Amino acid sequence: MRVFKGEVTALPPDKSISHRAALIGALSEGTTEITNFSGGFDNQSTLGVLKDTGISLRQEETDGAYGRRIRRVVMESPGLWGFQAPAVTLNCNNSGSTMRMFAGILAAQPFESVLVGDSSLMKRPMKRVADPLRLMGADIELSPSGTAPVRIRGTKELKAVEYRLPVPSAQVKSLVAFAALHAEGESKIIEKLRSRDHTEVMLGLETIEMHGERIIVVPGRKRIEAKPFLVPADPSAACFIVALGLLARGSEIIIRDVCLNPTRAAFLDILIDAGAGIVVENSRVIGGETIGDILVTNNSGIEPLTISDPQLVAFVIDEIPMLAVLSAFATGRFELHNAEELRTKESDRIDALAMNLKSLGFECEQYPDGFNVKGRNTVPQGMTGIESFDDHRIAMSFAIAGCATGCELDITDIGVVGVSFPNFFDILRELEA
């Protein structure tokens, strides 16, 4: 059994905040400086499409906390309509966030553009992107199956909208907000279940709680003044290191400067409620976001995890793969409901988790919105093949289980971890005692 000890100061910058900082910077008037921008493939895809639509930006390395080098992005933009017609199709690679959120901006630009991606992204549903933008007056064309390529014939005459999100989705909420910033008049976005709120926090949008719903008010055609952004460490990446510390007995790990936004760090509450040895220290607020340090010690077991509350599912949708694998390995049990959204991620994550856990001897039962793990019949001897499905979260979840328990796993396409966590294996090597 391996033991992991140490301090993690080089966790990847938050993906969600990095995407939004770049897009909001491109919509602003003046010079935007983003400190600690993510170098992951997805965030670099966002910078790529911004460059292809005429946004002037550069990346540079600078000194950061704990003596490490960090990435800074500096961009210049004339404001809401500062984009230019691209000479090429806009390649979002594997980044659904790039494709969906940037579509909201392109819908308001007076030119035609086409968004494409890799083989995985080209299969993901985009009707949820097209529907609200069509209501606002944009001309959006999808493939016959409702997927990319997304062809957008934008217009400067977008109409304000009152849009009720059919499912909790921070990406769809954000794309509607970005489009609404260009519309004539005030728009309202209504969500029954709260999703991650970085867009409204970073834009300073008014939010109203009424009759069990949350209303985000977006003023149209209001000048956005450029301002600096500081990107904290990614809590979704922190989840993998937390799981490592909980699975490997005798481990003690501290993870520095993690984003603790309540819509992003609910996985910590789940684990603490299950008895995990987790303490949050040095909590403070920077730029509207709560940041703190996470101390993880394997000093006790955890109870089996059951995740079913729809609001909680919305908050931990990206952490579910790691939570499921952690619970299966630590307790032999796990149960998930109301998470049908997982079937439309980079892979069908419900099927991917169940299939791989079965190959490791776990008893699994699938249903449309989740699955459960009932126990483990056998423990495979020797090397076991794990299919990543070209999905970074599936690959890393099983890599953590293998590292922490000594289980020998052969994971396909392991390089996909670079989508969100380029230094994943470097940190694991540094922590191994």
Q: Write out pLDDT tens, residues 255-291.
A: 999 999 999 999 999 999 999 999 999 999 987 889 9
Question: What pLDDT shows up at residue 1?
Answer: 67
Q: Choose one of 164, 187, 222: the last residue of a domain.
A: 222
> Is-catalytic flag, 309?
no
Q: Are residues 340 and 425 in the same domain?
A: yes
Structural domain includes residue 1: no
Structural domain includes residue 4: no
Q: Are residues 184 and 244 in the same domain?
A: no
430 has pLDDT over 70? yes
> What is the rounded average pLDDT of the residues 136-165?
98
Structural domain includes residue 9: no
Among the residue ranges 63-72, 204-213, 271-280, the one predicted with the least confidence is 63-72
Angle CA 414–233–349, to nearest 5? 40
Can you give the residue range of the structural domain that contains 19? 15-222
> What is the rounded average pLDDT of the residues 124-152?
97
Token representation of residue 277: 């040895």
Q: Are residues 238 and 387 in the same domain?
A: yes
66 has pLDDT over 90? no
Instruction: For the beta carbon of residue 351, count every other beta carbon within 10 angstroms.
Output: 14
Question: What pLDDT shows up at residue 128?
Answer: 95
Q: Are residues 241 and 163 in the same domain?
A: no
* Residues 308-362 pLDDT 10s: 999 999 999 999 999 999 999 999 999 999 999 999 999 999 999 999 999 999 9
Task: Look at 99 and 66; give whichever has higher pLDDT.
Answer: 99
Structural domain includes residue 7: no
Q: Are residues 172 and 269 in the same domain?
A: no
Kindly indicate the confidence band of residue 299, based on its pLDDT and cuts at 50, 70 and 90.
Answer: confident
200 has pLDDT over 90? yes
Q: Are residues 237 and 90 in the same domain?
A: no
Token representation of residue 416: 């996909």
Cα separations in angstroms, 235 against 12, 126, 229, 292, 409: 9, 26, 17, 10, 25
Structural domain includes residue 317: yes
Q: Are residues 213 and 354 in the same domain?
A: no
Q: Are residues 359 and 218 in the same domain?
A: no
127 has pLDDT over 80? yes
Q: Are residues 292 and 385 in the same domain?
A: yes
300 has pLDDT over 80? no
Query: What's the structural domain count of the chain?
Result: 2
| Residues facing 65 on adjacent strands | none
The domain spanning residue 161 has which CATH number? Answer: 3.65.10.10
Across the chain, mean pLDDT equals: 96
For residue 411, report the phi and psi dihedrals to the nearest 5 degrees.
-100, 125
Q: Choose one of 199, 222, 245: the last residue of a domain.
A: 222
Q: Are residues 168 and 261 in the same domain?
A: no
Q: Are residues 214 and 238 in the same domain?
A: no
Structural domain includes residue 145: yes
The C-alpha atoms of residue 132 and residue 16 are separated, in whole angstroms, by 21
Structural domain includes residue 136: yes
> What is the rounded average pLDDT of the residues 86-96?
96
Q: Are residues 42 and 143 in the same domain?
A: yes
67 has pLDDT over 90? no
Beta strands in 264-417 (DSSP E): 278-286, 289-297, 305-307, 334-336, 362-367, 370-376, 384-386, 409-411
Catalytic one of 42, 197, 234, 318:
318
Structural domain includes residue 91: yes
Concatenated DSSP letters of 69-107: EEEEEEEEEESTT-----SS-EE-TT-HHHHHHHHHHHT
Question: What pLDDT shows up at residue 2?
Answer: 86
Q: Choose one of 195, 222, 249: the last residue of a domain.
A: 222
